[in-house]
Amino acid sequence: MNNQTRLPRAAITGLGVYLPSKILTNQELAKIVDTSDDWIVQRTGIRERRIAAPEETTLSMAIEASKQALASARLGADQLDLVICATLIPEHTFPSTACLTQDAIGATKAGAFDLEAACAGFVYALSVARAYIVSGMAKNILVIGSETMSRVIDWQDRSTCVLFGDGAGAAVIQAAQEGDTAMGEIESVVLMSDGAKACHLMIPAGGSKMPASEQTVRDRQHFIKMNGPEVFKGAVRGMADAFHQVLKSTNLQLEDVDLMVAHQANARIIEGVRSRLDLPTSKVYQNLQRYGNTSGASIPIALYDAVREDVLKEGMRVAVAGFGGGFAWGAAVIKWGKVTV
Ligand code: UT7
């Protein structure tokens, strides 16, 4: 037996989501900005998105998704060693949304921190969770992606406001028992970044460089600014490359992948990635038509829906990829285990 076989495996054992009940359709958006259902569907594939009610926040959604994920894994919150919340719009600048979630769900023995990798946050958090488990530092980890995008969208900017939606997804990651193949495994994760492209997707104000002031508010600098075509190109190239790299790292071929779940930003981006990889469309999962781009929540929400719809089943191998501001991106291959939602 070599050392490799003795390392603990990390598996996804539970999933949960929270989606606000308010639906905003393309037709309703066309009453707010100069756009149309046709344009949005043709250019993005999005038909509607969820919008948080005033009392719904990144924290409240994270709590609900977390409770559901723990129930799905049949794990008590007091068994958690770590809570990681991937978000670009946290409850507060500090304390972390992860700490507030830790308290609310009763994860009394867990460390907690937020992770900021924008729309790639969930994949980044998966890599951290996997590393903690494989190294033996933790056994039970809760990874959350929760985003209240509607609070940082410029509702006067038609090039961004049609794209995003609110929601949260959570996954329980556990050390797999020796010989328990039903638990599946996060087989590999790769992460990449290119800070030279940071200017193409950002919220300029509210940090140390441009603290909040009357001027920053007047200049609408607290909203998302995006160079759409640059992000589009980066996302297609980045996610396709990340898929190749993650498969290479596990000595797997594309034929070994049963399902691809790319960040749910734009149907044309997903199609670009699919065609670069030359994957059949039947192996591509997409639910952005219902929710728009929920940033760091998009992958766990998509995994949840794919399981619920019986598209993702035990024994399959799913490849996921995220891409977002930073630019930061990455991919993971997951041998899917028994996950009940
Ligand atoms: O998670 C990562 C975050 N973001 C993304 O992944 C988004 C990446 N980018 C995209 O998805 C696309 O670039 C967009 C959907 C944002 C834009 O699509 P595009 O095909 O790149 O359009 P464009 O920016 O080149 O704009 C084409 C035209 C422009 O009009 P002119 O200059 O040709 O007259 C825009 O003003 O479409 C216009 N336009 C719109 N028209 C109607 C832009 N937004 C809209 C809109 N409705 N909502």
Domain ranges of the chain: 9-181, 185-335
Question: Are both 9-181 and 185-335 of the same fold?
Answer: yes
The model's pLDDT over 61-78, given as tens digits with 9 standing for 90+, comes to 999 999 999 999 999 999
In Å, how far are 68, 124, 148, 224 from 151, measured between CA atoms?
24, 23, 6, 10
Summarised one tens digit per residue, pLDDT across range 180-239 is 767 889 999 999 999 999 999 999 999 999 999 999 999 999 999 999 999 999 999 999
For ligand 1, what atom is nearest to the CA of residue 201? 3
For the segment 8-35, what is each residue's pLDDT rounded down to a tens digit?
999 999 999 999 999 999 999 999 999 9
Kindly list the protein residues whose Cβ atom lies closer than 6 A to any atom of ligand 1: 35, 39, 43-44, 119, 158-159, 162-163, 201, 226, 228-229, 231-232, 235, 263, 265-266, 269, 293, 324
From atom 38 of ligand 1, which residue's Cα is the shortest distance away? 159
Architecture of domain 9-181: 3-Layer(aba) Sandwich (3.40)
- Per DSSP, the residues of 263-287 read -SS-HHHHHHHHHHHT--GGGB---
Q: To test the ligand 1 pocket, which listed residue (32, 36, 124, 232) has its Cβ within 8 A of the most ligand atoms?
A: 232
DSSP per-residue string spanning 41-66: HHHH---EEE---TT--HHHHHHHHH
Concatenate the DSSP letters of all residues of 90-101 into one string: -SSSSS-HHHHH
pLDDT at position 183, please? 81
CATH code of the region 185-335 = 3.40.47.10
Residue 339 CA to residue 183 CA, distance in Å, equals 8
- Compute the distance from residue 159 Cα to the ligand 1 centre, in Å: 5
Of 43, 152, 160, the one to substitute when testing ligand 1's pocket (max ligand atoms within 8 A of C-beta) is 43
pLDDT at residue number 2: 44
As annotated, the active-site residues are 119, 263, 293
